[in-house]
Chain A
Amino acid sequence: MSEPKFIEVQQVEMLFDTRKGRFHALTDVNLKVARGEFITLIGHSGCGKSTLLNLLAGLTRATEGVLICAGREIAGPAPERAVVFQNHSLLPWLTCFENVYLAVERVFGAREPKEKLRARTADALALVGLTHAAQKRPSEISGGMKQRVGIARALSMEPKVLLMDEPFGALDALTRAHLQDELLRIVAQTGSTVVMVTHDVDEAVLLSDRIVMMTNGPAATIGEIVDVRLPRPRERVALAHDALYNEYRTRVLEFLYHRQARPVKEAA
């Protein structure tokens, strides 16, 4: 943790102009993320966690405040901040290999020969265990595999930060657990800095160094941050009986269901 301010979010305000008038999504958001840290953003739907992630990605600009990554202001999307989208967003007319290659080519194409680019693509697919599916199209593989291709595409760019927007939200519980384990292994291997949006309490505790809990919108902000001091590597079955793990879990649950109980009109 040599760089405690690898990512810095300062006094961010976010307003959206909607048909019903202005919507105040985020207010007074301040956050520092160290290099190599794994952060999860958790909160009820509509709390602006995805908005914050989009700001970090540069897909939207903050109404006020500054976001800094690696010493430079975030002015727009860039391959150094790779995004794994919830719905994987693979291009259906390209094979898995081509989907990843598109990203590799963009980042390294100017400097490296074709064979090197192909090797990088193959490595990224191998990292997520999909070497055998390289020539398949997204419509021919399962949801979990698609999400892994999305992760491979993001990792292949060797990003400074990996931004993940509920990457496992659409998957069944077993696949999700499997991919979480894989993500833990990959992040340990690559030392990536990760900011991940989730609404799954177990996922947050299992993966994070810190859990950033957000208050309910409108005008959501960071309510509390939990430092997860569980040793790595983490193993889900062993942790299930770990007193500390359960304490973190309870703290997040307390925050979400007592102090920030879900607004009634959104309960559906």
Chain B
Amino acid sequence: MNTVVNSTSNAPAKPAARAWRGLALRAPNGRAVLLALLPPVLGLGLLVLVWQLVSASNSNFPSPLVTWDAAVKLFADPFYSNGPNDQGIGWNILASLKRVALGFGLAAAAGIPLGFLIGRSRFLAGMFNPIVSLLRPVSPLAWLPIGLLVFKAANPAAIWAIFICSIWPMIINTAVGVQRVPQDYMNVARVLNLSEWKIFTKILLPSVLPYMLTGVRLAIGTAWLVIVAAEMLTGGVGIGFWVWDEWNNLNVPHILIAIVVIGVVGLVLEQALVALARAVTYEEAGS
């Protein structure tokens, strides 16, 4: 509630913002805030209620309260380290994020330029489209043995799985973006006789960026899904391995905590990219 009031009073004095603020001042927005917060709070409450009912009927399943206590203990010291197989949850999350960042970064470095080439050249599109169509539906985990074979180590193999699952959306969305650059803009480029570099920086890149970021967003979602599964198979430090480890310890509250943590991290990654996309997306000029 407090933060909402603050953000309105700090609004920049643009005309539109001022008009909106005037409106907000006239009608106290407590009711609006309540209406905005109520549904999600009720939804989460319902989830906890269902959880409580399930745990009440099944003694193996920890109740929300037990899980909460375990979480408090767990997050009191997230960064301890007692050897490679017993580390705090913070280290495990960071290890997973590091793998995702590496695989994802490599995929972006390879996939985005490739997407541009495929989008620009009909010939290259004809060459690569069958490969992409064939390999894209394959579960990235199927590539894990190939990674293990080639790299002879678990960590690069997990990164390889992330790379493979992230690259397809980046290639496809970038290529589609390039193909959808409005012909009008390309005509401008032709009439002005712009150099390839100017065409790239002033026309292609800005108009492809929203498509590209959609690809990046899809990729980060999949990458975060895949890393958990990949780490269950490869072992080592990481949130996926941690879940499997706690299963072997039969520590169910920790598994439930991990599920929530994985969800929250995925949500944060996604929202960060949505915010980035919004910052670079231009408004259509219309006619």
- Where the two chains meet, the residues of A that have a C-beta atom closer than 8 Å to any C-beta of B are 57, 59, 76-79, 81-83, 85, 87-94, 102-103, 106, 137-139, 143, 146, 157, 170
Contacts and interface: CB of A to CB of B under 8 A. Distances in A.
Contacts of A77: 187, 190-191, 193
Contacts of A146: 285, 287
B261 interface: no
B139 to A, nearest CB: 38
Contacts of A88: 285, 287
Contacts of B184: 85, 87, 89
Contact of B194 (A82, A106, A137): A106
A143 to B, nearest CB: 6
B75 interface: no
Contact of A78 (B187, B193, B206, B286): B193
A89 B192 contact: no
Given A85-B187, A91-B185, A138-B285, A103 B192 contact: yes
A194 to B, nearest CB: 16
B187 to A, nearest CB: 6
Contact of A106 (B193, B206, B207): B193
A157 B185 CA distance: 17
A3 to B, nearest CB: 23
B183 to A, nearest CB: 9
B69 interface: no
B98 interface: no
A193 B128 CA distance: 48
Contacts of B185: 89, 91
Interface residues of B, number: 20
Contacts of A102: 192, 194, 198, 202
Contact of B188 (A78, A89, A139): A89
A170 B191 contact: no
B196 interface: no
Contacts of A91: 185, 188, 202-203, 206
Contact of A93 (B192, B194, B206): B206
B282 interface: yes
B283 A87 contact: no
Interface of B: 184-185, 187-188, 190-194, 198, 202-203, 206-207, 282-287
B62 to A, nearest CB: 52
A83 B191 contact: yes
A153 B185 CA distance: 14
Contacts of B287: 87-88, 143, 146, 170
Given A79-B193, A91-B203, A106-B194, 17 more contacts: A77-B191, A81-B191, A85-B187, A87-B184, A87-B287, A88-B285, A92-B282, A92-B283, A92-B284, A92-B285, A93-B206, A102-B202, A138-B285, A139-B282, A143-B287, A146-B287, A157-B192
A59 B190 contact: yes
B212 to A, nearest CB: 14
7 contacts: A79-B191, A92-B285, A94-B202, A102-B198, A102-B202, A103-B192, A106-B192
A106 B191 CA distance: 11
Contacts of A85: 184, 187-188
A263 B194 CA distance: 40
A93 B5 CA distance: 33
A160 to B, nearest CB: 13
Nearest to B207: A93
A92 B209 CA distance: 13
A137 B286 CA distance: 12
Contacts of A93: 206-207, 282
B187 A89 contact: yes
B286 A57 contact: no
A67 B168 CA distance: 47
A79 B189 CA distance: 10
A45 B272 CA distance: 49
A59 B191 contact: yes
For the complex of A and B, the 5 pairs showing the least CB-CB separation, nearest first, are A138-B285, A139-B283, A93-B282, A92-B285, A89-B184
B5 to A, nearest CB: 30
A94 B282 CA distance: 9
Nearest to A147: B287
Contacts of B282: 92-93, 137, 139
B191 A57 contact: yes
Contacts of B285: 88, 90, 92, 137-139, 146
Contacts of B207: 93
